[in-house]
Amino acid sequence: MSAQLSVAGEAILLREDRDGVVTLVLNRPARFNALSEEMLSALQAALDDIKDDDTVRCVVLAASGKAFCAGHDLKQMRANPRQDYYETLFAQCSRVMQSIVDLPVPVIARVHGMATAAGCQLVATCDLAVASESATFAVSGIDVGLFCSTPAVALSRNVAPKHAFDMLVTGRFISSAEALSFGLVNRVAPDAELDKAVAALTADICAKSPVAIRTGKAMFARQRSMSLEEAYTYAGNVMACNMMAEDAAEGIDAFIEKRKPVWKGR
């Protein structure tokens, strides 16, 4: 794995590239992978590097140690008690989240341990999420007098409003089974089989046309803010353009000829 930024000699973000899958590993286990300024900067740099790389088929966001991510670094925040500092920090975090959404390929959260506050926001922001059976989730800022407003943006776009607001005003932890039923994660795997489940999902994505996947992610995100009529008009235009791709012709011909398609990526 290659390192992305070091603090006190420790690489806080690790990167591994294998067969079109980029795995980014949050690596501050002693601080439960808190989203410090440095961690956010490392994530932003990695996402910026990935976005224009046509060889990348999907991204996995994982973490080292006992937890996925405990949210913002509260000690760092309390060491800088200024509103302008907080506004800059939350804008930095929001840019990272938006960069995940804007990335042309699917981003999968590999969740173990706990994902709390902005860590839960990170899970909700990813396109897909696979969690271990023992994983837990919370937006628990309310317990320290802080409503998780920015995590609420991502959470409310993944979870039914009453479930999301319940989590936000109580700060309670939910299990991976509840997270699955709420729509916060896609799949739950036994702890020992988490990597196997993530690998199966990435393999499924990488087996599909890269043109179709990239077209689909961009379309899916954009149409959600449109009216029904606008969405159908937009989606119809996107699908017509997709039909003109060589991969679409190859895929349909392969289906008719009962053979496996050979994707060209264009």
Residues 191 and 247 in one domain: no
- CA separation, residue 256 to residues 74, 180, 249, 250 (Å): 58, 37, 11, 10
Residues 231 and 160 in one domain: no
Q: Using alpha carbons, select from 81, 9, 141 the residue that is nearest to residue 89.
A: 81
Residues 92, 85, 51: CA angle, nearest 5 degrees = 10
- CA separation, residue 235 to residues 9, 12, 102, 213, 228 (Å): 48, 40, 18, 14, 10
pLDDT digits (tens, 9 = 90+) for 100-150: 999 999 999 999 999 999 999 999 999 999 999 999 999 999 999 999 999
Residue 31: which CATH number? 3.90.226.10
In a domain, 261, yes or no: no
Instruction: Look at the block and give the residue holding tokens 């302008």.
Output: 84
pTM of the model: 0.93
**pLDDT tens for each residue of the chain, 266 residues long:** 665 555 556 799 999 999 999 999 999 999 999 999 999 999 999 999 999 999 999 999 999 999 999 999 999 999 999 999 999 999 999 999 999 999 999 999 999 999 999 999 999 999 999 999 999 999 999 999 999 999 999 999 999 999 999 999 999 999 999 999 999 999 999 999 999 999 999 999 999 999 999 999 999 999 999 999 999 999 999 999 999 999 999 999 999 999 999 998 88
Residue 248: which CATH number? 1.10.12.10
d(CA 68, CA 27): 10
Domains in the chain, number: 2
In a domain, 265, yes or no: no
In a domain, 264, yes or no: no
Q: Which domain holds residue 246?
A: 210-256
